[in-house]
Structure formats: structure tokens, C-alpha cells
Structure 1
């Protein structure tokens, strides 16, 4: 049902969608004026920019804490209890970084894990 309050005709609307498709799919800035593009992060930016503000400790201080946060972000709470194969499958299905998949592959195969903390504690004991 059309309300009649559109500013453009259906033909003009389709034409504008077609014009914007290239911009939306582009993998690079599409503005002519360089000053309008957002400035990328510099190599010497503080580490705080890489993680959420207010997190105890600076990023990179505790690798187990960072691992716990990354695993929790990709696994969530709903897939537990789970064994190593299920965790690896979930991470792969959610396109998790390879380092997380490799960490889960180091878990014992004969055990079920109740949550992310259990996974990280086991990895911590194994020397990760």
C-alpha cells in the first residue's frame, strides 16, 4: 500500500538505488574530497583504542583475559556444555580468528566444558 507521501517516483527511487549500489559495495572510500574520509588508525595510537574503555588492565597485559574475552565474544553462552569438537565447529561456523580455533584444538578431547571460563582455565593449565 502506497501512502503517496514519497518525494520521488518509483522510477527515480530505483535509479537512486542503482547509483548507490557501487558506493555501498566499494571496498574503498568513494568521496572525491580526501578531507571527508575518516582518518585511519596510526601505528603509534595508544593501545586503549584497540579495546573497550573501562576494561581493567591495558590490552596485552593478560593473554588469558584477552583469550577469555575473545572466546566469549565468538561462542556466547548458549553452546555449553560442549566438547572440543563442538567448540571448534562453533568457532569455525562463526568465522572466528584462526588463533582462537588453534587454541581450542589444544583442549583435551575426552572432556566436556561447562563455559568459557572452564575452557580458558584448562588452556591456562596446559601452558597457553
Structure 2
């Protein structure tokens, strides 16, 4: 027998409730035929929760968040294909190492936008040199 602690619901009722919820949990939506048994929709003043992820911030904040995400993705991809021994590096060295490691085209395209004459101590400096909006 399983210890139920201070559960106010009887074991039989608990199993019955589990059975009723099983279809809903599998389907991801209400499974009742009669609308009266469906849960109420959220009220206008309820906090809205998006099951697909966080609600994107409005306007300028959304653009900034998108740019930060792109920069972080680029930084991760560069780090995967550039070994530490490549640094300090200039634009040509970065491109040569990325090509030798068969980096994906978007990463190579971003590295091609690096300014000539720049020297980079690490991947973070490369992403900073590309600037916001130039990483994608």
C-alpha cells in the first residue's frame, strides 16, 4: 500500500481522477464531448501563459532579444569551429580555420563581414566586431 500522507481524497477517488485526466494529458486538449464539462476559458484579467515558450517582449525589446539570441548562436557556432590555438587571429586566419573545419555557410558568411585589419583575442571579440544586427 502506498503512503498517501495528508491527502484528503480517498485512494479510490484519486485513481478515478487520474483516469479522468489521462485522456486530457495525452491529447493536450479537453476530451469531453459535452461543452459543460470543459474547463472555463481564461478570464480577461488572467495572466496569459503561452505553452510554446515565453511571451516575446514588445517592439524594441523584442528586436534586442532577437539580436542577442542571434549573437549567442553565432558565438556558439564560432566556438565549435575555432580552436583556441587559432587566437589571436585576424580576419583571414578566422576564415581559414572555419573553412578547414567545414563550418556552416551562415558562420562563414558572418566571418566574411569582419573588418579587414582587425585582430581578435577570442570568439567574443569576433561577435562584438560584427556588431548588433550584423550577426545573421
Which residue number in structure 1 is paired with residue 129 of structure 2?
A: 122
Within 5 Å, give how 1:63-78 maps onto structure 2.
Answer: 63-78=70-85
Structure 2: state its 5+ residue gaps. 1-51, 54-66
Which residue number in structure 2 is paired with residue 97 of structure 1?
A: 104
Between 1:118-127 and 1:96-105, the stretch displaced more is 118-127
Query: How far apart, CA to CA, are the structure 1 residues paired with 2:133 and 2:79?
Result: 19
Q: Out of 42, 67, 90, which is 1:83 matched to?
A: 90
The CA deviation at 1:120 is 0.6
Q: Out of 102, 113, 122, which is 1:106 matched to?
A: 113
Over 3 Å counting, the alpha-carbon distance change for 1:61 and 1:125 in structure 2 is closer
**TM norm structure 1:** 0.50
Query: How far apart, CA to CA, are the structure 1 residues paired with 2:68 and 2:87?
Result: 28
Structure 1: state its 5+ residue gaps. 1-45, 48-59
Query: How far apart, CA to CA, are the structure 1 residues paired with 2:68 and 2:113?
Result: 22
Which residue number in structure 1 is paired with residue 29 of structure 2?
A: none
**TM norm structure 2:** 0.47
